[in-house]
Amino acid sequence: MPLVVIDADAGRLALAESQGYTIVMGDAAEEQTLRRAHIDTARVVAVVLPDDAANVFVTLSARELSGSVEIIARGERPDTERKLLRSGATRVVLPAAAGANRIARMITHPSAETLLGDADSMGQLNDQLLEIGMEIGQITIEADSELPGATLADVDLRQSAIVIVAIRKADGQIRRSPHPTTELEALDTLIVVGRHDDVPRSLRRLPIPTQLTFRGASAPRPGGSSR
């Protein structure tokens, strides 16, 4: 989109001009500089100087010249946000805070392989899901059950409104969004998500549920129960 670069540094302006941008040399806090950049026809003004005080002055000048233009201003410190908004900024971007939040998310929300393979991470995820009425559970396929050799399509958990989101293999490998034709093996762990009330209580206490629908019918457990 067409834009005008305003700067007082000749070197930066030369670089911008070499890349095809229209340039205006001067102090953006001065009204005459903003007028030369045709702020009267601008749709958006981006105020991105590295100095908070300078950004406040530029924002004030831009707002005095145009009451309708959208002003997106940068702030280095969180307490500058309020000053920029009072000066007329439409929106304020805090790069340092945004970067810190992203790093925090990387720490608290690791990759799916790490998340689904670590008990503590799974517990934290479950706590977050419970806040919105959801729950995560695990079903381990025992070697003496009827399930090794079956496919995911053979195991129907829809009666409990449960979604199988991943399979953790016995060696710890995580297979996300497994295909219905995926063949189950002994000691595979199905990682499932469902509404809190729909996840069978057995998922919280036992390695496998008390009831599975297998090939359209209940698969009996030895001794009369189901597995």
Condensed to tens digits (0 to 9), the pLDDT of residues 38-58 reads 999 999 999 999 899 999 999
**Overall pTM > 0.75:** no
2-46 per-position pLDDT tens digit: 899 999 999 999 999 999 999 999 999 999 999 999 999 999 999
User: What is the reported pLDDT for 71?
Assistant: 97
Q: Which tokens in the block code for residue 86?
A: 């009072």
Give residues with Cβ within 8 angstroms of 27, minimum separation 6. 8, 33
Is the pLDDT at 130 greater than 60, yes or no? yes
How far is Cα 106 from Cα 127, in angstroms, rounded to an integer? 18
In this structure, which CATH number among 3.90.1820.10, 3.40.50.1170, 3.90.470.20, 3.40.50.720 belongs to the domain 4-99?
3.40.50.720
pLDDT band at residue 100 using 50, 70 and 90 as cut-offs: low
How far is Cα 112 from Cα 177, in angstroms, rounded to an integer? 11
pLDDT band at residue 142 using 50, 70 and 90 as cut-offs: confident
Q: Does domain 110-218 have CATH number 1.10.20.10?
A: no
User: What is the reported pLDDT for 94?
Assistant: 86
Mean per-residue pLDDT for 147-152? 84
Is the pLDDT at 139 greater than 90, yes or no? no
Domain range summary for the chain, segments of one domain joined by +: 4-99, 110-218
Instruction: Give the chain's mean pLDDT.
Output: 78
